[in-house]
Amino acid sequence: MVTVKQHYEAYPYPERHPEDERKRLITGSPSHPVELDHYLFSGRRDWRQPLRVLVAGGGTGDGLIQLAHLLTQAERPHEITYLDLSQTARAVAEARARVRSLDTITFHTASLLEAADFGEFDYIDCCGVLHHLPDPDAGFRALRAALAPGGGMGFMVYAPYGRTGVYPLQEAFGALFDGMAPKKRLRAAKEAFARLPEGHPFKRNPHLGDHQVSDAGFYDLLLHGQDRAYDVAALVATLQRTGWALQSFTMPARYDPARFAPVPGEMDAVGRMAVAEKLCGSMRMHIAYAVAAGRDDAPPIADGRAPDLVPHLIGVAPAALARAVAEGRPVPVTSGGERIELRLPRESAAALARVDGTRSLAEIAGATGQEMARFAGPWGRASDRLSGWGLLLYSGLLR
């Protein structure tokens, strides 16, 4: 059997070319500094204080480079420790950091199970790794042991329903091509894949595309020797028994079943999210933030009605959004194959036009000529709808 280490030495994932850093920055969830502030620190982190970061299982470095670049660009003090088993993946991540002249990262070839040996961290990034461990619970516990008081973790694990067809193919290819070297396995699997019937559940699944992007993507998706998925209930239970508490999924509106049907009042929060996952049917991963279980002082998620908070629009141009809202047009959102239309209060248009990541809500209200008491109503409704889909977050990063 090809081990996980052998897999990622042969096909580091995702496939990246360091020179591409000269022309683009890959951004996403988790670990955008604005996003982690919003979910873990109520949007009020004191960015003058150094942020100690662990990137656990950093692969070729997407989350690592995003976080290091944005913190460096914002001139915020930070130290990042990178861990990964694959020397090949580490070499790619190091080369990407050199292209961007990022010198705040310490690289180690090591398992995340050794995380606590490297210190305590205010923020832990673990994206796409825990579900590949032979004992994922041990991974969650190891990261919990490395968490500093008051800190939190951003992570991604696979979800089952959007990955329909993946696991039967992994099992079949594993049985057919066991014992082959990685490159030979890849060739054999691609030949077999080309002969699959068009009605195969995998080929009818529109939510998967890594196998079409690169050899590394094909191998990671269909030839992985150690891979599991978590539904909402299983993930929450795993967090609870390993010392964590779910703070929030990103795009929390996706996990609200009320957008499909009325919800019984006695259904608890986990039950609601689990039902929403089944009704949605297209989630192929869960991206979330977690804090230490039992924390009485855990800060709530940023509340979009507090005057001191600083809003950021994510992936949306303020002027274009404000124009659509002022004209009464719905704001289209596409996520996981779903298309949703958000209708925002027209009264919020002038405020949305002034969101630049540096002004507080009180300053935006003043610029629109409104008292906070009058401003808060329509802004709060707009904020709730946009934040629910990850389009508006709060952080003082750029203040």
Q: pLDDT digits over 106-145, tens only?
A: 999 999 999 999 999 999 999 999 999 999 999 999 999 9
pLDDT in the model for residue 335: 84
pLDDT in the model for residue 291: 98
Token pair for 325: 């809202």
Q: Give me the half-sphere count of Cα atoms (radius 13 Å) on the Cβ side of residue 171.
A: 5
Quick one: 103 exposed, middle or buried, by C-beta within 10 A (0-12, 13-18, 19+)? exposed
Token pair for 354: 């002034």
- For the chain, domains (ranges, CATH) are 4-161+227-292 (3.40.50.150), 311-394 (no CATH)
pLDDT in the model for residue 314: 96
- Per-position DSSP letters for 191-229, written without gaps between them: HHHHTS-TTSTTTT-TT--HHHH-HHHHHHHHS-SS---
Token pair for 297: 């002082």
Question: What residue ranges of the chain have pLDDT lower than 70?
Answer: none
| Cα torsion angle, 104, 107, 112, 113, sign | negative
- Per-position DSSP letters for 65-128, written without gaps between them: HHHHHHHHHTT--EEEEEEES-HHHHHHHHHHHHHTT--SEEEEE--GGGGGGG--EEEEEEES
Residue among 29, 23, 40 nearest 302 (CA): 40
**Rounded CA gap, 57 and 82, in Å?**
7
**Rounded CA gap, 102 and 110, in Å?**
21
pTM value > 0.95: yes
pLDDT in the model for residue 78: 98
CA distances to 86, 170, 349 from 227, in Å: 17, 9, 45
**Rounded CA gap, 239 and 285, in Å?**
16
- Confirm if 15 and 214 have CB atoms less than 8 A apart: yes
**Rounded CA gap, 246 and 241, in Å?**
12
3-state secondary structure of 150: strand
Token pair for 95: 């080369």
β partners of residue 52? 79
**Rounded CA gap, 345 and 155, in Å?**
33
